[in-house]
Amino acid sequence: MVNEDRWEPKIVAFLCHWCSYAGADLAGVSRIQYPPNVRVIRVPCSGAVNPLYILRALREGADGVLVSGCHPGDCHYLSGNYFARRKFFLLKELLSWLGIEEERVQFSWVSASEGQRFAQVVQDVVESVKRIGPSRKMVKEFLLHV
Amino acid sequence: MAKKLVTPEVFRKKVADQSDLFLITERAQGVYHEFLPQGLRVIKTPKELIFPEWEGVYRFSFQDRSWKVWEIETGDFSPRFLFLLPCEARAVIEVLDGNFLQKDYIDKNYWQRRKNLHLIVLGCYTIPKTCFCSLVGGNPLWRDGRSLFVLPFQGELYVENDETMLFGEGKSVDAREEETLATREEELKASLPPPLPSDFPQKLYAHFDEGIWKDLSWRCINCGACTFLCPTCYCFDLSVEGRLRGLTLKTWDSCMFPRFTLHASSHNPRPTGKERVRQRVMHKFSYLPLREGYYGCVGCGICREICPVNWDIRETVERMAKYLG
Amino acid sequence: MYEEEIRALSVKLLDEVEGVIGYSWGTLPFRARPFLCQKKEDVTHLVFNHFCGSNLARYLLSGELKEKKIAILAKACDARAITVLIREGQVKRENLVIVGIPCYGMVDRKKLEERFGPLQPQDFEWHLDSLTFKGENLSIGPFLEATCQRCLHPNPPLYDHLIGQEVTYIPRKRWNNDALTKLDMVSREERWAFFAGEFEKCIRCYACRNSCPLCYCKECFAEMQRPYWLSGAATPSENLFFHVGRSLHMAGRCVECGACERACPVDIPIALLPCKVEELIRGNFDFEAGIDPDKEPPLLTYRENDPGEFIR
């Protein structure tokens, strides 16, 4: 149940094992503060993120999804993030064309050394999702009845 | 059975005054327009009102180290009146009620929805090309004590079985008018193709393994358009939503889908389109008549109308009847 | 149209193939349907007209025919779908005899009804790109299916035999159905209002998926139990999930034949979604499905300068 007054967005973050997850780790060990709204799911590579993962996260009640991987050219598997970029481009364009708020699904490149940047990205994502409010269009209806 | 004649003006006004109570099926909307007010809520198929596309059956939650389960009650529904064609009414009264309101088990949520849904049958004078109700024992003027019946007659509306005086007092029907109606009904019935032979279900049952099924089913692409829009198809699936907290969902299911019969062992007794098409025909034209005494098809023809590849159940049944002799 | 040629060719082909997949008249007026012709005496049932909307490539995948030598009647879309199927290893080129037919577009029955009221077959005469209604000659353009009005490839890119003359114009330029561009113009809220209404109608019968020649997954993500992506309940959000998921699954593969839209029993213009994705691919990745079998599909390749501004 969404309590409108004390609502905090839930963000599901798919982070690539080699860069962004390590970046998040660095943010942690460097004790950099960032909003606790993200739920991190580690994936081998941003190229391994099936668009269905993102849709499913939104369906299960996430207010926003962040997918983060290595910078172009830095992929541990050489080109996984290039393939990912094409997939995400189509997903993002299609969702926004259908009328879903653009902020719901966001992407970033964060390297293992960018702890500060990771914190900043999370900060930005959480703020932008807060601005648009709770997700309604893509959440399974029965969740609201449970 | 009370019979009366109502003027179209009175009828239209009665309906228009309480238009939020009245609904009409898409097919009835297509056949009738002149004496019904505009703007009634149109529904795709009568079954969606009593057997919705999806509903929760029970909720569950894991609390204090134990599972808690609650039944989901639909609550009461206010009375609603549905205009529908005779075939669709027959689907509700014979097939759906027959399935969900059996003697030994009554589906509670179905009954909650059904008990305040009043059917108003609109008799057909013009018969669309897709219809074949006479083949399966119906007729364009089919009615029954459990529903109202309305028919345009000599510039007025003939209303039958209006116990609650929904459409007012009206004028009583005299003997001559009654005779005219009866002759018209006879003429109409005589102009239609005869019903399937009475031993058809039995014969069909015996021809389960015939090679002809492969031929008949080739065209079918196994989508669920026919079964989902069929007024009689009542198969449903149960699935669980959520892990530690959630609900059990009841959704429409179709015998055309591979998962319909998929076992947990991954064995599927109906592996291809052939078996699934055979099941659909057999269930409607053999199993149900043999077990319950009525066909599972009311001949409304919606499946013929909407089939993406024109797989035609009437053609199939007639071909089978000819094949079986 | 072309009936004599199709029948004569089919008789010849039946000597070497197991069957000819084509169209015959349906059981109701203004409907043609897929027909498998296996005997020479049945070739008289074969027809071709403006109602042959079903994509026949779909039937190449049904179990019985998969390993056999088959002739298939192919409009441009069907031939493109076959090209994709060959590329994806679903059918073998050497098992196919493709009878290509240049296509002037398929007629939408509902558009005819809207214009002429209840339809009588005898009132109509059909020509390649026009029709005669009670003696009045009309262009066929306004009555074509939306996807046919947007068509870019009226001629089959792949065939063994070609029937008739190639179409000399590009239908999109001539008929220009701009439903997609129109939706690009309106605000996001208006687009959402439109699509929310459409997804509300969906009953999840999967007619779109099953009529699609390229939706051949043994187990569709929509019906999977493990992982369980979504339920079968036809709620607006679940319908959105299904259609977005399917459109992305079709990305770079969809040949924009409109079979899904034609099949929809509740009249959702569902081809808009995969077509939008194809437009994006055409514009950004310079690819069209089913035209060049040797070109790498867009999601199996990349360029370093692909659009990436949307990524932080």
- Domains of chain A, by residue range, sit at 11-145
Mutate to test the interface with B, among C72, C78, C205 (most CBs of B within 10 A): C205
Above 60 in pLDDT, residue A133?
Answer: yes
pLDDT for C195:
95
A82:C304 CB<8 A:
yes
Taking the Cβ of residue A60 and every Cβ of chain B, the question of whether any pair is shorter than 8 Å is answered with no
> Which of C36, C223, C262 has the CB atom closest to B259's CB atom?
C223
Whether the Cβ atoms of residue C162 and residue C97 lie closer than 8 Å to each other = no
Q: Where are the alpha helices (DSSP H) in chain C?
A: 3-13, 76-87, 109-116, 146-149, 171-175, 179-185, 188-201, 207-211, 236-249, 259-263, 272-285
pLDDT for B20:
87
pTM for this predicted structure: 0.94
Tell me: the pLDDT tens digits for B269-278? Answer: 999 999 999 9
The strand pair at C161-162 and C96-100 is best described as parallel
Tell me: the pLDDT tens digits for B18-77? Answer: 888 999 998 888 887 778 888 889 999 999 999 999 999 999 999 999 999 999 988 888
ipTM exceeding 0.85, yes/no: yes
pLDDT for C268:
95
Residues of C in contact with B41 (CB under 8 A): none
Residues of A with CB under 8 A from a CB of C: 51-52, 55-56, 59, 72-73, 79, 82-83, 85-101, 106-109, 121, 124, 137-142
Q: In the numeric block, which tokens belong to residue A73?
A: 């050219």
Whole-number Å distance between alpha carbons of B288 and B296: 6
pLDDT for A3:
59
Above 90 in pLDDT, residue B124?
Answer: no
Q: Which range in A37-51, B30-44, B183-197 is most confidently predicted, on average pLDDT? A: A37-51
pLDDT band at B104 (very low <50, low <70, confident <90, very high): confident
Q: Domain A11-145 classified CATH 2.60.40?
A: no
pLDDT for C11:
94
The chains found to touch B (3+ Cβ pairs under 8 angstroms) are: A, C
Q: In the numeric block, which tokens belong to residue B264?
A: 């947990």
Distance from CA of B182 to the nearest CA of A (A): 52
Beta bridge partners of B150: B122, B159
pLDDT band at B211 (very low <50, low <70, confident <90, very high): confident
pLDDT band at A144 (very low <50, low <70, confident <90, very high): low
Residues of C in contact with A123 (CB under 8 A): none
Could you list the pLDDT tens digit for every one of the 312 residues in chain C? 889 999 999 999 999 999 999 999 999 989 999 999 999 999 999 999 999 999 999 999 877 777 889 999 999 999 999 999 999 999 999 999 999 999 999 999 999 999 888 888 888 888 888 888 888 899 998 999 999 999 999 999 999 999 988 999 998 988 888 888 888 899 999 999 999 999 999 999 999 999 999 999 988 999 988 899 999 899 999 999 999 999 999 999 999 999 999 999 999 999 999 999 999 999 999 999 999 988 999 999 999 999 999 998
pLDDT for A2:
54
Find the residue in B nearest to A146 (Cα).
B246
Whole-number Å distance between alpha carbons of B17 and B14: 5
How much of chain A exceeds pLDDT 70, in percent? Answer: 95
HSE (side-chain half, CA atoms, 13 Å) at C201: 15
Once rounded to an integer, what is the mean pLDDT over residues B250-278?
93
pLDDT band at B170 (very low <50, low <70, confident <90, very high): confident
pLDDT band at A4 (very low <50, low <70, confident <90, very high): low
Whole-number Å distance between alpha carbons of B221 and C59: 8
Lowest mean pLDDT among A92-101, B2-11, B292-301, C268-277: B2-11
| Inter-chain contacts counted by CB atoms under 8 A, chains B and C | 104
Domain residue ranges in chain C = 3-300
Taking the Cβ of residue B246 and every Cβ of chain A, the question of whether any pair is shorter than 8 Å is answered with yes
Distance from CA of C308 to the nearest CA of B (A): 36
pLDDT band at B172 (very low <50, low <70, confident <90, very high): confident
pLDDT for A30:
96
B53:C31 CB<8 A:
no
B257:C223 CB<8 A:
yes
The chains found to touch A (3+ Cβ pairs under 8 angstroms) are: B, C
Above 90 in pLDDT, residue B210?
Answer: no
pLDDT for A145:
58
The CA-CA-CA angle for residues C225, C231, C235, to 5°, reads 170
Residues of B in contact with C145 (CB under 8 A): none
Above 80 in pLDDT, residue A143?
Answer: no
